[in-house]
Amino acid sequence: MIDHMGNLPKGWVLYDGYCGFCSWWIPFWKKTINKCGYEIAPLQEEWVRAELKTEDRLLNKDIILLFTDGSKLIGADAYIFGMKAVWWSKPLGFVLDFYPFGKITRMFYRLFNKNRFLVSKVCRLKPVIPSVKPEK
């Protein structure tokens, strides 16, 4: 996928379009993500499903940072990488990557990820793909 300037981005931040929190959070950071050379897209977009070659029921499990070479970072590792790519969050990104903080960061991510639909409901955050219920 080519960006709006006609350039190939470094990669894509792929988020769950079924999740209200994800559908709010990632687009909220779109300008910062774009300044780092990345684009954003819901995991459920046709080209993403084709690129990842993943079953639809597995698409809404985690955030994925997909690089142009096909490599991926998933979950907390995608967030930590992103933090390290932004000048003002770089120090925190490095701290959150090292033991014991890295272990705590990944544990917190898994806990939050498991409960993000509840957070979305409580905060009344609407998903970008509201018509389809995700499979658990």
Q: Which domains does the chain have, with CATH numbers?
A: 11-122 (3.40.30)
* pLDDT score, position 27: 96
* pLDDT score, position 59: 67
Q: Which residues contact 46 (CB under 8 A, 6 or more apart)?
A: none
CA 4/CA 132 separation, integer angstroms:
28
The owner of tokens 């544990």 is 107
* pLDDT score, position 61: 82
- Name the residue among 42, 31, 55 with its Cα closest to residue 1: 42
53 dihedral zone (left: phi>0; alpha: psi -120 to 50; beta) = left
* pLDDT score, position 131: 53
CA 77/CA 102 separation, integer angstroms:
9
What does the pLDDT profile of the chain (136 residues) look like in tens digits? 554 556 789 999 999 999 999 999 999 999 999 999 999 999 989 899 889 887 666 667 899 999 999 999 999 999 999 999 999 999 999 999 999 999 999 999 999 999 999 999 999 999 988 655 555 5
Q: What is the pTM of this model?
A: 0.86
